[in-house]
Amino acid sequence: MRSFGTNATHTGGSAIKAPRTAVLARPARDRRAPAIEVRHLAFTYPGDPPRPALDDVSLEVASGELVAVIGANGTGKSTLLKLVGGLLEARSGEVAVLGRAVREPDARVGFVFQEPRLLPWRTTLENVAFPLELAGRPRPERDGRARDLLALVGAADVGGLRPHQLSGGTRQRAAIARALALDPGILLLDEPFSALDALTRERFNVVLQSIWRSTQTTILLVTHSIPEAIFLADRVLVLAGRPGRVVTEVPIRLPRPRTLADQDATMVSEAASRIRAALGAPPDPARPAGEVM
Ligand SMILES: Nc1ncnc2c1ncn2[C@@H]1O[C@H](COP(=O)(O)OP(=O)(O)OP(=O)(O)O)[C@@H](O)[C@H]1O
Ligand SMILES: [Mg+2]
State which amino acid sits at residue 155. A
Q: Does ligand 1 lie within 6 Å of residue 52's CB atom? A: no
Hey, how many other C-beta atoms are within 10 angstroms of the C-beta on 128?
Answer: 31
Buried b (16+ CB within 10 A) or exposed e, 132-161: beeeebeeeebbbbbbbbbbbbbbeebbee
Per-residue model confidence (pLDDT) at position 7: 34
Contact 223 CB / ligand 1 (< 6 Å): no
Q: How confident is the model at residue 33 (pLDDT cuts 50, 70, 90)?
A: low
pLDDT tier, 10 (very low <50, low <70, confident <90, very high otherwise): very low
Q: 3-state class of 116 per DSSP?
A: coil
Nearest CA to ligand 1 atom 24: 73
Residues 73-91: what's their mean pLDDT? 96
- Report residue 284's pLDDT band, with 50, 70 and 90 as the boundaries: low
- What are the angstrom distances between the C-alpha of 264 and each of 204, 231, 253, 259, 292? 20, 11, 10, 10, 11
Q: Quick check: 6 pLDDT over 60? A: no
Residue 270: the pLDDT is: 87
pLDDT at site 196: 81
Distance from the alpha carbon of residue 53 to the mean position of ligand 1, in angstroms: 6
Given pLDDT bands bounded at 50, 70 and 90, which one contains residue 156?
very high
Other Cβ atoms less than 10 A from the Cβ of 285: the count is: 6
Q: H helices of 40-194, where?
A: 77-84, 124-134, 139-152, 168-179
C-beta 53 within 6 A of ligand 1: yes
Q: Tell me, what's the pLDDT at 267?
A: 77
Dihedral (C-alpha) 202, 179, 67, 167: value to the nearest 10 degrees? Answer: -20
Note the helical H segments in the chain: 77-84, 124-134, 139-152, 168-179, 198-215, 226-232, 265-279
- d(CA 244, CA 238) in angstroms, rounded, equals 9
Q: How far is the centre of ligand 1, averaged over its atoms, from the C-alpha of 78 (Å)?
A: 7
End-to-end CA separation in angstroms for the chain = 28
Q: Where are the alpha helices (DSSP H) in 101-223?
A: 124-134, 139-152, 168-179, 198-215
Provide the mean pLDDT of the chain: 85
Q: Could you give the domains of the chain?
A: 32-77+202-259 (3.40.50.300), 115-190 (no CATH)
pLDDT at 49: 95
The rounded distance, in Å, linking the Cα atoms of 69 and 81 is 10
Average pLDDT estimate for 123-143? 96
pLDDT value of position 210: 92
Q: What letter does residue 290 receive in the DSSP assignment?
A: G
pLDDT of residue 194: 86
* Ligand 1 pocket check for 46: Cβ under 6 Å: no
Per-residue pLDDT at 171: 94
Average the pLDDT over 17-45 and give the result. 64
pTM given for the model: 0.84
43-74 pLDDT tens trace = 999 999 999 999 999 999 999 999 999 999 99
State the average pLDDT over residues 81-102: 95
| Mode of pairing for the β-strands spanning 245-251 and 92-97 | unpaired
pLDDT band at 268 (very low <50, low <70, confident <90, very high): confident
pLDDT over 90 (residue 21): no
pLDDT (mean) for 265-279:
86
Output the CA 147–ligand 2 centroid distance in Å. Answer: 30
Integer-rounded Cα radius of gyration of the chain? 19
Name the strand (E) or helix (H) holding 37.
strand 34-45
Whether the pLDDT of residue 180 is over 90: the answer is yes
Q: Of the given ranges (15-29, 61-75, 116-130, 202-216), which has the lowest mean pLDDT?
A: 15-29
210 lines ligand 1 (CB under 6 A): no
Mutation to probe ligand 1, out of 44, 45, 80, 279 (largest number of atoms < 8 A from CB): 45
Q: Which ligand is nearest to the CA of 77?
A: 1
120 vs 122: CA distance, rounded Å: 6
Q: 88, 43 in Cβ contact below 8 A?
A: yes
